[in-house]
Amino acid sequence: MVVVIQIIMTSELFNLLRRTDEDKCLPGFRQLNWYFFFTGMLFVYGRILSQQLVNTATIDEFSYKLVSKVIKYQMVFCYFLYIAGLVWFILTLKKKTYKYQFGQYAWTHMVLFVVFTQSSFTVANIFEGIFWFLLPASLIAMNDVAAYFFGFFFGKTPLIKLSPKKTWEGFIGGSIATMITAFLFANVLGRFQWLTCPRKDLSTGWLQCDPGPLFKPEYYSIAGLTRWFPLKEISILPVQWHALCLGLFASIIAPFGGFFASGFKRAFKIKDFGYYIPGHGGFTDRMDCQMVMAIFVYIYYQSFVPQDYSIDMILDQIVRNLSFEDQKTLYYRLGQIFRQRQMKNY
């Protein structure tokens, strides 16, 4: 799904600055743009999914060694693919189109940077558990709907000149609704293992794991509120507190990705990025806020969400990634560390 969205967004952005007359004089120039795209895809996903590829290829020793070698030299392979593309570009240069060709070359790299940055963080979030993709994406959609609703019925005060229809009432109302939705929806999603379990390989089997502390309910007494509520206690997943932070970002900061896209379209005097979604400005218009959100979720997860490293997980990594000789060396060094600690204790 991510790859399909990547291709559609890239196609829309490539076409923004394309001129039909110049392209007719440059046979094969459009193919060069897509050559750089697939080279970039090979590099980015090779780096992101290297560990999952190794874990998937541990069925037999031959596959394991083959994949390990491919991953080891993947960066070199991608580099020479890029150099081949650079040579291809230089060989296509023609008089009277130099400026257009170099403009397209720069635009291609800018498009690839934007598209692959967003998608790489999205894929990384998915492998930490679909929860970390589905919840943020849903919050962006929820904020759009809620802001439209409150703006339509109560909007009077303009918010920003780039988007004249946006109002402060819609912005504030959408933010409150998104925060509430984030807290409640996280409780629903967090109770399904196939949404919360991380994926360590590229298999497609049903996920089962021991829920981490983030997804184990904590119970809070509400005995003092029994006059209004029949329940004596409520259960809250710790991840719901993190969901509030995601909701806050989705409602206050992420919309500026949409404002950026609006300003970009005004700068180039275009109404829509593309026509793949009629009436919605194309896929890029739908993904502008998602791009900002995906990066934030990855940084937030790595910085503030406690990582659960079990002994079994560490042993599994040692067995998979270290040779037998390296495992023996590790064993002897651990023994030395234990003996030194015992001597200090005595």
pLDDT of 16 reads 83
> Does residue 95 register a pLDDT over 90?
no
Residue owning tokens 């206050």: 252
Cα distance between the two ends of the chain = 60
CA distances from 116 to 6, 105, 220, 260, 296 (A): 8, 17, 43, 18, 15
For residue 275, give the nearest of 262, 286, 288 by alpha carbon.
286
> Does residue 115 register a pLDDT over 80?
yes
pTM: 0.83
- Rounded to an integer, the average pLDDT of 172-199 is 93
Identify the residue with better confidence: 59 or 305: 305
Which amino acid is it at 346? Y
pLDDT tens-digit readout, 269-328:
887 787 777 666 678 888 888 989 999 999 999 999 887 665 666 776 677 677 778 888
Distance CA 100, CA 23 (A): 10
Which amino acid is it at 97? T
Distance CA 179, CA 143 (A): 9
pLDDT tens-digit readout, 229-246:
677 788 899 999 999 999
The band of 135, judged by pLDDT with boundaries at 50, 70 and 90, is: very high
pLDDT of 226 reads 59
Sign of CA dihedral 9, 125, 220, 248: negative
pLDDT of 229 reads 65
Identify the residue with better confidence: 28 or 225: 28
> Does residue 149 register a pLDDT over 90?
yes
The number of residues in the chain equals 346
Asked if 167 and 159 touch (Cβ cutoff 8 Å), the reply is yes
Under DSSP, the state recorded for 128 is T
Residue owning tokens 């409780």: 187
Identify the residue with better confidence: 148 or 233: 148
pLDDT of 227 reads 65
- Dmax (CA) for the chain in angstroms is 84
